[in-house]
Chain A
Amino acid sequence: MEHTANDTLDFHETTEESLKLEVASQWQLMWWKFRKHKLAVISGIIVILFYVVALFCEFFSPTVPTTYLDVYATAPPQRLRLFLDGKWFPHVTGYRGERDPVSFRKTWEIDYSTYIPVGLFVHGDPYKLWGLIPGDLHLIGPKNPGDPFYLMGADMIGRDVFGRLIYSSRISLTVGLVGMVISLSFGILLGGISGLVGGAVDNIIQRIIEILMSIPTLPVWLSLAAVVPIDWPALRVYFMISIILSLISWTGMARVVRSKFLALREEDFVMAAMLDGCSRGRLIMRHMLPSFLSHIIASITLWIPGLILGETALSFLGLGLRPPVVSWGVMLQDTQKVAVIARYPWLLAPGGAVFIIVLTLNFLGDGLRDAADPY
């Protein structure tokens, strides 16, 4: 300690608690702050659950989406009961269908005398997990394959709405992500150039952004849907369109990135790093990018709901995905008639799923955004 020029500052007692805070990195501080946002944490868990279910939808669904039992068309949801006469016996009750003699409409009544035993990890419809691994194990399903098991009712031709909902989540939750990655890279790249280079380049990029932002997307979608070859599979068509659309939807991200770079360029610590002799690349990657990476992650979370809503809306209108692809929007096509909604309201279940995931993603995004700048 003979070097100490003046007294070492003994400014505060270092408790274990404060030490933990003082050596905490950005991500730790963010996590601590995020953790306090209860709604965001719960939403985060729900979002993760949705994506896990989407990833293993073959296993979580009691059926495969092509299975149908036409005798049970438009059957209402069954209630899952866990006990029978005070004993553990998970089951659903059977149906008794009758045709109305006047309107010839099929009406369903619950048959309390038949019980369909339900089990976990049952063997049912065979499937291939991710199209690769064959299996027939389902998380939940009737113990005797072929028994009716409609937790969310059946659709117009007797397919299980619950199972199709789970399968749909895979498409609906992921189909926009490729487009998003493209727009994100475009946005960060062009926004970064715009903010860092400035001058005429900035001017040109900003004017291009303004032009692109003024293009209405729905007519573009309409015409693109008409242009792509008719013999393409529906999923590829949708991919193509979302990729083309991502080429014009990077503008918002580009503006965010540009403004961040403009603000950071004036920061003293960036100038200090430049005077330390940092190269341009190091200045950006090491000193500037970490300052707003968390903001980008938060805005991605707030972006995904838009993609999900977009898919649902376009498929509902018949412009996006088409059967046999199953997505929430495709499923909702069945509910285009008011009469259908009035009679078979359970067909709106995909709307509920959209509602929950969009809401939770927004809460999660809000929490992330609040935590994104812990300083």
Chain B
Amino acid sequence: MVATHTTQQVAPELTMRSDDHLLEVNHLKMYFPITQGLFSRVVGYTKAADDVNFYIRKGETLGLVGESGCGKTTVGRCIVRAYEPTSGEILYRDPDGGVTDLAALEGKEIQPYRKDIRMIFQDPYSSLNPRMTVFQVISEALRVNNLASGSEMRDRVEYLLQRVGLRPEYIQRYPHAFSGGERQRIGIARSLVTNPKLVVCDEAVSGLDVSIRAQILNLLEELQDDFDLTYLFISHDLSVIRHICDRVVVMYVGKIVEVASGLDVYVDPKHPYTEALMSSVPVSNPRARDKGTRILLEGEVADPSNPPSGCYFHPRCRYAQQLCREQAPPLKDLGNEHYSACHFAEELSLAGVRMV
């Protein structure tokens, strides 16, 4: 933890907008260069995350939704610092109260924060090294960070296996002995082994069988209470998001289009894209099914390396006007923790999911 203190002394005092924020992402940009030719000339950038702003409160579950390729995974990977962001701030509050900009850390400076911010991967098959036992997989973080050793490490791994619903005797088995759901439990145990504060769940249940999904979601909720965790839950599955999230951030082509608390995003969307997303949620009541108006978006998702002018959503938006083609809308505060990046957020009356 020596590194933590030295960086705080050198860097100017960082503050967050509110004391209960655990993480604040400010103007985060992640551009991937597009190279061409023999000498890898940079011909353009894929703007996977373009000026992303949001915060996560301590103890809450923040959902990050959007279509495939909208940049939600990129944002998650920037927060765990698997990627080095192009620019922007990722402010993190240490357990002792200090604020650190994770985006500014380089090389070994990140190391102390790796144990605080952990990740659960989407694919339970490729995320576990088939050549390592369950014990080796889970204990790796303890071993490389010198957090525990010997019987202490073994006890910790066995305890976590039990907590995620697996028998401690399975500790010497290899991942190939387990099913998808069990592997995901191992992945969860791995993320919790360092006593993290924030866990980024990147499509953590999307790769699982529907019957297993609910089990894992319930497990995540239980663990959140017991281990005092904060989740950033990345998913394209709206029903999963509704099940687990306190607040929801909606992304489209690298930008945030709407942030809403509670069920607002479902019943009272303030962005046409969110409305279209909500209309795609399957209705479970068969009698109510044909009454719904399913909004089918025209055209393709915009190319993040060559986005359209103005509002990125305007070519597909059925409410688009001249202003939308010319000017990019800012993320406006509509009150009650509801933000929308639409010029006409206040005027439009959009349909949400019918709660039947």
Residues of A within 8 A of B (CB): 1, 3-9, 11, 18, 21-26, 199-200, 203, 267-269, 271-279, 282, 287, 290-291, 375
Residues facing A in B99-130 (CB within 8 A) are: 111, 114-115, 118-119, 121-123, 126-130
Q: Do B165 and A275 touch (CB < 8 A)?
A: no
Q: Do A22 and B163 touch (CB < 8 A)?
A: no
Q: Do A5 and B165 touch (CB < 8 A)?
A: yes
Q: Do B141 and A276 touch (CB < 8 A)?
A: yes
Q: Give the Cβ gap from B236 to chain A, nearest Cβ, in Å.
A: 18
Q: Do A276 and B130 touch (CB < 8 A)?
A: no
The residue in A22, A268, A276 that gathers the most chain B C-beta atoms within 10 A of its C-beta is A276
Q: Do A3 and B219 touch (CB < 8 A)?
A: no
Taking CB atoms, residues of chain B closer than 8 Å to A375 are 130, 176
Question: Which of B166-174, B272-280, B298-306, B308-316 makes up part of the contact surface?
Answer: B166-174
In the assembly, what is the distance between CA of A200 and CA of B159, in Å? 47
Taking CB atoms, residues of chain A closer than 8 Å to B68 are none
Q: Which residue of the partner chain, among B40, B130, B162, B223, contacts A203 with CB atoms under 8 Å?
A: B40
Count of chain B residues near A, Cβ 8 A: 47
B93 on interface, CB distance cutoff 8 Å: no
B20 on interface, CB distance cutoff 8 Å: no
In the assembly, what is the distance between CA of A225 and CA of B126, in Å? 51
Q: Do A287 and B129 touch (CB < 8 A)?
A: yes
In the assembly, what is the distance between CA of A28 and CA of B233, in Å? 39
Beyond A11-B182, A22-B177, A23-B173, whether A276 also contacts B219 by CB under 8 A is no
Q: Do A199 and B40 touch (CB < 8 A)?
A: yes
Q: Which residue of the partner chain, among B114, B122, B144, B226, contacts A5 with CB atoms under 8 Å?
A: B226
Contact with A along B123-149 (1 / 0, CB 8 A): 100111111010000001100110000
Q: Which residue of the partner chain, among A5, A7, A271, contacts B82 with CB atoms under 8 Å?
A: A271
B222 on interface, CB distance cutoff 8 Å: yes
Q: Which residue of the partner chain, among B127, B162, B179, contacts A268 with CB atoms under 8 Å?
A: B127
Beyond A3-B162, A6-B165, A290-B131, whether A276 also contacts B144 by CB under 8 A is yes
The residue in A5, A22, A277 that gathers the most chain B C-beta atoms within 10 A of its C-beta is A277
Please list 27 pairs of residues, one from A and one from B, whose beta carbons are closer than 8 Å in the complex, sorted by A's number. A1-B162, A3-B163, A4-B162, A5-B164, A5-B222, A5-B226, A6-B218, A9-B165, A22-B170, A22-B173, A23-B174, A25-B131, A200-B39, A203-B38, A203-B39, A203-B40, A268-B123, A268-B127, A269-B128, A272-B128, A273-B129, A275-B82, A275-B119, A276-B114, A277-B114, A278-B140, A278-B144
In the assembly, what is the distance between CA of A200 and CA of B42, in Å? 13
Q: Give the Cβ gap from A205 to chain B, nearest Cβ, in Å.
A: 14
Q: Which residue of the partner chain, among A22, A200, A203, A277, contacts B115 with CB atoms under 8 Å?
A: A277
- CB-based closest 10 A-B pairs: A22-B177, A268-B127, A276-B141, A269-B129, A22-B173, A375-B130, A268-B126, A277-B114, A276-B140, A26-B131
Q: Which residue of the partner chain, among A6, A26, A273, A277, contacts B222 with CB atoms under 8 Å?
A: A6
Taking CB atoms, residues of chain B closer than 8 Å to A276 are 114, 140-141, 144-145, 190
Q: Do B179 and A11 touch (CB < 8 A)?
A: yes
Q: Do A7 and B165 touch (CB < 8 A)?
A: yes
B80 on interface, CB distance cutoff 8 Å: yes
In the assembly, what is the distance between CA of A5 and CA of B215, in Å? 11
Taking CB atoms, residues of chain B closer than 8 Å to A275 are 80, 82, 114, 118-119
Beyond A271-B82, A282-B144, whether A9 also contacts B39 by CB under 8 A is no
Taking CB atoms, residues of chain B closer than 8 Å to A9 are 165-167, 182
* A25 (CB) vs chain B CBs: closest residue: B174
Taking CB atoms, residues of chain B closer than 8 Å to A287 are 129
Beyond A26-B130, A272-B121, whether A5 also contacts B223 by CB under 8 A is yes
Q: Which residue of the partner chain, among B122, B162, B177, contacts A21 with CB atoms under 8 Å?
A: B177
Taking CB atoms, residues of chain A closer than 8 Å to B80 are 275
* B77 (CB) vs chain A CBs: closest residue: A271
Q: Give the Cβ gap from B189 to chain A, nearest Cβ, in Å.
A: 12
The residue in B122, B131, B215 that gathers the most chain A C-beta atoms within 10 A of its C-beta is B131
Taking CB atoms, residues of chain A closer than 8 Å to B164 are 5
Q: Give the Cβ gap from B123 to chain A, nearest Cβ, in Å.
A: 6
Q: Do A24 and B140 touch (CB < 8 A)?
A: no
Q: Which residue of the partner chain, among A5, A22, A272, A279, contacts B190 with CB atoms under 8 Å?
A: A272
In the assembly, what is the distance between CA of A1 and CA of B162, in Å? 8
Q: Give the Cβ gap from A113 to chain B, nearest Cβ, in Å.
A: 68
* B108 (CB) vs chain A CBs: closest residue: A279
Q: Which residue of the partner chain, among A21, A25, A199, A272, contacts B127 with CB atoms under 8 Å?
A: A272
Q: Give the Cβ gap from B222 to chain A, nearest Cβ, in Å.
A: 5
Taking CB atoms, residues of chain B closer than 8 Å to A22 are 170, 173-174, 176-177
* A5 (CB) vs chain B CBs: closest residue: B222
Q: Do B144 and A23 touch (CB < 8 A)?
A: no
Q: Give the Cβ gap from A124 to chain B, nearest Cβ, in Å.
A: 51
* B169 (CB) vs chain A CBs: closest residue: A14
Q: Do B174 and A8 touch (CB < 8 A)?
A: no
Taking CB atoms, residues of chain A closer than 8 Å to B122 are 268
* B161 (CB) vs chain A CBs: closest residue: A8
Taking CB atoms, residues of chain A closer than 8 Å to B145 are 276-277
Beyond A3-B159, A22-B173, whether A268 also contacts B121 by CB under 8 A is yes
Q: Do A274 and B82 touch (CB < 8 A)?
A: yes
Taking CB atoms, residues of chain A closer than 8 Å to B182 are 9, 11
In the assembly, what is the distance between CA of A8 and CA of B118, in Å? 24
Taking CB atoms, residues of chain B closer than 8 Å to A11 are 179, 182
* B35 (CB) vs chain A CBs: closest residue: A199
In the assembly, what is the distance between CA of A222 and CA of B163, in Å? 70
Taking CB atoms, residues of chain A closer than 8 Å to B159 are 3
In the assembly, what is the distance between CA of A267 and CA of B210, in Å? 24
Taking CB atoms, residues of chain B closer than 8 Å to A1 are 162
In the assembly, what is the distance between CA of A4 and CA of B159, in Å? 9
Residues facing A in B15-61 (CB within 8 A) are: 38-40
Beyond A6-B219, A268-B127, A277-B144, whether A24 also contacts B166 by CB under 8 A is no
Q: Do B126 and A23 touch (CB < 8 A)?
A: no
Taking CB atoms, residues of chain B closer than 8 Å to A271 are 82, 121
Q: Give the Cβ gap from B72 to chain A, nearest Cβ, in Å.
A: 16
Q: Give the Cβ gap from A201 to chain B, nearest Cβ, in Å.
A: 11
